[in-house]
Amino acid sequence: MAKTRVYLDWNATAPMRPQAKAAMLQAMDLQGNPSSVHAEGRAARKIIEDARANIAKAVGARSADVVFTSGGTEANALALVPGLRRNGDVATRLIVSAIEHSSVRSGGRFPVEDVQTAPVTSSGVVDLERLRALLADGAPALVSVMLANNETGAIQPIAEIAELVHAAHGILHVDAVQGFGKIDIDINALNIDLLSVSAHKIGGSKGTGALILTERLSGYEPLIAAGGQEKGRRGGTENLPGIAAFGAAVAAHLDAGAAAMARMQKLRTKLETGLQAVTPEMTVFSSDVPRLPNTTLFSAPSMKAETAVIAFDLEGMAVSSGSACSSGKVHASPVLTAMGVAPETAQGAVRLSLGWDTTEAEIQYLLEAWRSLSNVLVRSSDVVG
């Protein structure tokens, strides 16, 4: 195969879907403010409400529960607010898992002294017994757990977590930014109270997201109250082009259905099998638990992630050393540290993430390149130990 660019960093951001780009350009030509009552304003409002309906359908929520934001980080900040009520119980403290995105680990609007951390197992999933103990030791809590980890792809046992949280009179927030569009989500079947999603992970534009705030909750306080937009839950004129693109991207995802996810899983299996055939001593993190169908985080003896990412790039492949929000910073991954991974193994972790138009030829191209790259990046197996 001739040298080309292969994009395998979809967990950092997905390329815009053609449908999303077309919807965004069309919305840019509209003149009306969505809050205006004239014809131009109503046309803009219809685009927003159609997008809201698509997002609600994708997660089994009511359209009225979808609040548009500037992205997943803001959606998380909106969710993490003291004083939320569910069935009369008030959440006065926050529990977050040890592998959360930095926007959740920061604690939102909770004082630092009211934030606790729930440990995870060596497989990268929440330790349910440790969470149970935290819930029993104090007042009702708002618990924030991601649907699937952005680095390892490990899918969290949300239904079981919801059962524990609600039995302790708590509230459950789920950051679904990475899982949205890669696995099925039913907010009611999983008994989730708040759900964060983002547009650019599913093929929409950057700078748009949403918080699904279910009717089971009360006591919500917006970050931006002025203006009255989004039913007073998030002030400021809505980002019409971004929301239009978001809605179109979700519609395209719904049209693709389960077949697209199954295809990604098949390609990931080919990828991991091929890598391990060349480097049998490599580690694939969270391989013993359910993972996103598109995500592989691996490490090999003596490999340095920074060097590996550059080497892949020079060979025409975009990969990541982990979370894009932490790229360029030389420190151990908080996710791998929480999993108890040895520093010398964690420092070599490279993430490969696939998307809806990743091809078998691109996977084969990477595997062929790995045969030569591994000779430079990885300590030979006869030296191991």
Task: From the candidates 325, 342, 361, 376, give the one annotated as an active-site residue.
Answer: 325
User: For residue 152, which of 309, 337, 278 has the smallest C-alpha distance?
Assistant: 337
Q: Is 325 a catalytic residue?
A: yes
User: For residue 175, which of 204, 201, 141 has the smallest C-alpha distance?
Assistant: 201
Residue type, 42: R
Domain boundaries, the chain: 6-15+258-377, 18-255
Residue type, 58: A
Burial of 63 (0-12, 13-18, 19+ CB in 10 A): middle
Q: What is the mean pLDDT of the chain?
A: 94
Give the pLDDT confidence score for residue 162 in this predicted structure: 98
In CATH terms, the fold of domain 6-15+258-377 is Aspartate Aminotransferase, domain 1 (3.90.1150)
Do the bridges between strand 89-90 and strand 85-86 make them parallel or antiparallel, or are there none, so unpaired? antiparallel
User: For residue 254, which of 27, 22, 2, 60 has the smallest C-alpha distance?
Assistant: 60
**Length of the chain measured in residues:** 385
> CA neighbours within 13 Å on the CB side: how many for 221?
8
Give the pLDDT confidence score for residue 329 in this predicted structure: 53
pLDDT tens per residue, range 95-147 = 999 999 999 999 999 999 999 999 999 999 999 999 999 999 999 999 999 99
pLDDT tens per residue, range 223-276 = 888 888 999 999 999 999 999 999 999 999 999 988 999 999 999 999 999 999
Q: Are 336 and 324 in contact (CB under 8 A)?
A: no
CATH architecture, domain 18-255: 3-Layer(aba) Sandwich (3.40)
